[in-house]
Amino acid sequence: MMAIYSYAAGDTPLLISIPHDGRELMPGQRDRMTEAGIALPDTDWHVRRLYRFAGEIGASVLSANYSRYVVDLNRPADDAALYDKQVATGLCPVKTFAGDDIYAAGEVISADEQGSRTEQYWRPYHEKLEKTLGEIRERFGYALLWDAHSIASAVPALFDGVLPDLNIGSFDGQSCAPELALAVAEVAESSTWSNVLNGRFRGGYITRHYGDPAKCIHAIQLELAQHTYMDEETLEYVENDASMLQVTIREMLGAYMTGMAD
């Protein structure tokens, strides 16, 4: 069995979490799935590759190896909805964002199976995330969490129209010190990319649960529109586009870290 997550330690207060670029499935899961599900269309494609510079800036990186179709690490273990009056994609999804069935007819995820998946695949990631943030805070006096995501630029079931390129979320100012979110947003504003702070994607469970400025743990989510660095039709990584985007992401991360140091 593949490890639940991959982890690389850094030497700064920054931890980058990548919960949705995993592609592995549970033993036997593929046999229960439709072709639409097996394609894993809702993967945050190539985000690990996009952030491969993380070691150069001293960031720690925690990334999931298993697909969100096993269990969604950015949802609470009790599967409570994160956004009011919007489609909930679920802790153990049964539909793709496009509304296609992930599982073949007659295949059901029971409460017991969902509980088992949570214990085996969700909990280890979160235990490592919590432990690492605690260790970073103990070492530096504070910790900075950056939850890295991407999504297709148009997903009618989740939002209208085309998503801005850079979607920064601080849970409406609750998950990090306001000046940190503003510093990150200012970099985005000065770039060529369209951007928004606390728009449709204000931060999922990871940002909301771990971000606690009063306890010196700050969290920001960045949701990227995938067309900024890849071909959304072929799913291929586009090196030239990605390189330009990486410049801006590095500047945003730099503002995040410098803002706290100041």
Residues 71-81 have pLDDT tens digits of 999 999 987 76
The overall pTM is greater than 0.85: yes
- pLDDT average, residue stretch 97-119: 95
Phi-psi region of 46 (alpha: psi -120 to 50; beta: other; left: phi over 0): left
Identify the CATH number of the domain defined by range 5-261.
3.40.630.40
Residues 29-75 have pLDDT tens digits of 999 999 999 999 999 999 999 999 999 999 999 999 999 999 999 99
How far is residue 216's CA from residue 182's CA, in Å, rounded to a whole number? 17
247: three-class secondary structure by DSSP: helix
Residues 120-148 have pLDDT tens digits of 999 999 999 999 999 999 999 999 999 99
The first and second tokens of residue 208, run together, are 């909301």
What are residue 95's phi and psi, to 5 degrees? Answer: -130, 145
Average pLDDT, the chain: 94
How far is residue 79's CA from residue 62's CA, in Å, rounded to a whole number? 22
Q: Which amino acid is at 142?
A: Y
Q: What is the reported pLDDT for 158?
A: 87
152: three-class secondary structure by DSSP: coil
Q: What is the reported pLDDT for 157?
A: 83
Q: Which amino acid is at 197?
A: L
Q: What is the reported pLDDT for 79?
A: 73
The set of residues, in sequence order, having a beta carbon less than 8 Å from that of 201 and lying 6+ positions away, is 149, 151, 167, 169, 221, 223
Q: Name the helix (H) or strand (E) containing 209.
A: helix 205-210
Q: What is the reported pLDDT for 1?
A: 75
Place of tokens 């997903």: 155
Higher pLDDT, 84 or 256: 256
CB 94, CB 101: distance < 8 Å:
yes
The set of residues, in sequence order, having a beta carbon less than 8 Å from that of 86 and lying 6+ positions away, is 158
Q: Is the pLDDT of residue 89 over 90?
A: no
- pLDDT average, residue stretch 105-125: 96
Q: What is the reported pLDDT for 159?
A: 87
- pLDDT average, residue stretch 3-13: 98
Q: Is the pLDDT of residue 213 over 80?
A: yes
Q: What is the reported pLDDT for 230?
A: 98
Q: What is the reported pLDDT for 23?
A: 98
- Integer CA distances (angstroms), 54 to 15, 50, 78, 135, 250, in order: 9, 9, 32, 19, 9
Nearest to 183 by CA among 98, 109, 261: 261
- pLDDT average, residue stretch 163-184: 96
CB 246, CB 50: distance < 8 Å:
yes
Q: Give the start-to-end residue ranges of the domains of the chain.
A: 5-261
Q: Is the pLDDT of residue 85 over 60?
A: no
Residues 10-24 have pLDDT tens digits of 999 999 999 999 999
How far is residue 124's CA from residue 32's CA, in Å, rounded to a whole number? 25
